[in-house]
Amino acid sequence: MYVAQPIEWTDGGVVMLDQRRLPAEEISYTYTDYREVAEAIREMVIRGAPAIGVAAAMGVALGVQKSAAKTIEELKEEFEVISEALAKTRPTAVDLFWALARMKARFRELTRSHLDLAGIRLALIREAEEIHAEKKATDEAIGRFGAEFMPKEGQVMTQCNAGALATAGIGTALGVIRVAYEQGRKLHVLVPETRPYLQGARLTAWELHRGGIPLTVITDNMVGHFLKAGKVGAIVTGADRIAANGDTANKIGTYQMAVLAKENNVPFYIAAPISTFDLSISTGEQIPIEERTAAEVTHIQGVRIAPAGVAAAHPAFDVTPYRYIAAIFTERGVAKAPYTESLARLAGAVPAKAAG
Ligand code: MRU
């Protein structure tokens, strides 16, 4: 089945598919400067928590590769500048900071080894490629664990895009749906368009359509209507950051979907890698919510839809309290309430055997 490739490390630089142009055009850029990679993350050429992490890791590798530093001391200073520029791009998805921390730990290890500058540069490229490869394996394990929870047939719902475009693997939420579909479950996906950035209508619809999985695009204000109709067997979404108690930040609109799911007895699941856990914060109240430009609300693809001069708000994420979440699918198994215990156990655990 077709799997989109949002990012690739090549000898010529970091190649990214421009997700702002999908589905109308499939255009890729090759970035040769880490500042361009930072800009691409900020401007949503690439988006989705795990994919942002992969991009940040490749951005670090690119910055170090292109650095003019002549000594390890000079490179250490430049490494900090590179990391900081990438860290300042988007605040909510913790995968970004996870990937930067991992690259930093590897860099520290390398600077204490016998390697020269060329060796360090090469080893950091390998580390970024390794992170990319791990995302693919992680998504597949999440998919296998989560697929068991999907209905044998009928409607499922998702939010935003938590597919291959968002992870650089097969996707988290869409990975679960994809594996379930490949197992023979006859699913039909309801895809809310996900205003204001339309990741649902543009990206999830594109991925599912390409993969041959039946779908229906709906507007965000139809979610309650369809849940009340009693035909949705499950909801599965991705996550940008999961606090120690299970509170989960995801694309704006996820919270109201979870509340409506509870009201209508539809199980609401999260699919996310362990790298999306932030066990340093006890609740979702501490998750920083990105505020994006009002122009993304007042305009659709450059066309103004609200009167000039009016204010518009654009919190890009909301937090769903843990009590609305029936289970969290990870690459190491399925977490259920009480999350404070199950998430800590999974985070520290030896990988469990995935079903199937
Ligand atoms: O603003 P975006 O498009 O980066 O937001 C993406 C989401 O909210 C996804 O659901 C989340 O990052 C999980 S991606 C597997």
Cβ–Cβ under 8 Å, residues 236 and 156: yes
> 188, 29 in Cβ contact below 8 A?
no
Active site residue 240: yes
Strand 13-17 to strand 186-192: parallel, antiparallel, or no bridges (unpaired)? unpaired
Find, among 327, 333, 326, 330, the residue nearest to 352 by Cα: 333
Q: Is the beta carbon of 271 within 6 A of some atom in ligand 1?
A: no
pLDDT band at 350 (very low <50, low <70, confident <90, very high): low
pLDDT of residue 108: 97
Query: What pLDDT, in 10s, does the model give residues 189-248?
Result: 999 999 999 999 999 999 999 999 999 999 999 999 999 999 999 999 999 999 999 999
* pLDDT of 252 over the 90 cut: yes
For the cut 80, the answer to whether the pLDDT of residue 337 exceeds it is yes
pLDDT of residue 203: 98
What do you get for the CA distance between the two ends of the chain, in Å?
Answer: 18
Please check the confidence at residue 331 and state whether its pLDDT lies above 50.
Answer: yes
Tell me which of 95, 139, 220, 240 is the catalytic residue. 240
Per-residue pLDDT of 145-161, as tens digits, reads 999 999 999 999 999 99
Is the pLDDT at 1 greater than 90? The verdict is no
* pLDDT, tens digit, 9 for 90 and up, residues 58-105: 999 999 999 999 999 999 999 999 999 999 999 999 999 999 999 999
Whether the CB of 142 sits within 6 Å of ligand 1: no
Instruction: Determine if ligand 1 sits within 6 Å of the CB of residue 48.
Output: yes
| CB burial readout 318-349, b (16+ within 10 A) else e | bbbbbebbbbbbbbbbbbeeebeebbeebbee
Mean pLDDT (whole number) for 308-318:
97
CA distances from 10 to 16, 38, 124, 228 (A): 11, 18, 14, 48
pLDDT in the model for residue 356: 34
> Which candidate, 177, 191, 184, 173, places its Cα nearest to that of 330?
173
- Could you give all domains of the chain from N- to C-terminal order, each with its CATH number? 7-139 (1.20.120.420), 141-348 (3.40.50.10470)
